[in-house]
Amino acid sequence: MLLFAGTLTVALYTVTDMEYPRLGLIRIESFDHFLADAYDQMR
């Protein structure tokens, strides 16, 4: 029962972390400069 609860907790945390990447452990800040360059090229 504890293994199932732990697995479910990790899975839900991972999904939530991917949904809001700037708030959790998985960060995409190093990717932001690519987005800024693409935006500058579109203007």
Domain boundaries of the chain, sorted by first residue: 2-42
Q: Across residues 24-35, what is the average pLDDT?
A: 75
**How many Å separate Cα 30 from the centre of its chain?**
12
Q: Is the pLDDT of residue 30 over 90?
A: no
Q: Where does 1-43 have alpha helices with state H?
A: 2-19, 32-42
pLDDT (mean) for 3-16: 95
Name the pTM for this structure: 0.56
